[in-house]
Amino acid sequence: MNSFKKVASTRYSYFMRKLFFEVRRQQLRNARQVSTSETVQETSNTNVIKIPKRIERGPTDILKALSSTVKRDYTAPHYKYHDDPFLIPTSNIAKRMFALSQESGRKAAQWVRQEHADLFQHRVADPPIEVYFPRAVYDEKSEVDETVLQKVIAQHRVSDSITIYGLLEQNGVELSRATKQSLLELLCYYNSQDPLEEEWIEERWFRQGNRSREKKKNVWNVVPSRGGEMVQTR
């Protein structure tokens, strides 16, 4: 009888302990769920996603950002020279000859494209870029109007502007006052000569150097002397 009571009390204590742990586990689980829901609610209330305003970006902003990460190597030669120790010019005369020769090759290629435009029918860029196309040649048989003249004036093509203006005068086409004023300003600004294109940097620099030397060589400067007389000096 005593052994039976002992076994019964042992089982009772075991089941009570088990029930206690089950209740405690359920309470902890409920508390964890409540805290998680409160945290999610607080997070949703505090961390509100705000979309910033759109920042205007240019087409070359990414390239500028990339180029800002690479610094220039001042010990290296200029980028227009070949990166080869046997081909890099060392003297100023060799540098000038190299740069002018390289630019002359580009001008020769442009001349071939202009003279034989029928051989270059492929598209260099898409959408097409008008600068890459061969220029139109105007002669006595060309059909032109004031719109064509205005377009040529806007492109600063002096010789073509003079040719088109002569054709319009021969055909008796009356031009507006604004077009005549634009043509006059173009001829006066460029002295009736075609300007050198901006891409020919080396030739422009070479011409400018020759002009400065010619002026110093051929021009007499009039300088007043101490006695008040004008003296000519080179």
Single residue among 85, 105, 125 that ends a domain in this structure:
125
- The model's pLDDT over 171-187, given as tens digits with 9 standing for 90+, comes to 888 888 998 899 889 88
Full-model pTM: 0.48
Residue 161 inside a domain? The answer is: yes
Q: What is the mean pLDDT of residues 163-172?
A: 86
Most confident of 31-40, 48-57, 197-206: 48-57
Tally of domains in the chain:
2
Within this chain, do residues 141 and 179 fall inside the same structural domain, yes or no?
A: yes
From CA 53, how far away is CA 153, in angstroms rounded?
42
Within this chain, do residues 180 and 161 fall inside the same structural domain, yes or no?
A: yes
Residue 155: is its pLDDT beyond 60? yes
Residue 31 inside a domain? The answer is: no
The chain-wide mean pLDDT, for the chain, equals: 75
Within this chain, do residues 140 and 93 fall inside the same structural domain, yes or no?
A: no
Residue 231 inside a domain? The answer is: no
Residue 116 inside a domain? The answer is: yes
Residue 222: is its pLDDT beyond 70? no
Kindly report which listed range (30-39, 89-98, 112-121) carries the lowest average pLDDT score. 30-39
Residue 225: is its pLDDT beyond 50? no
Residue 92, domain extent: 76-125
Residue 200 inside a domain? The answer is: no
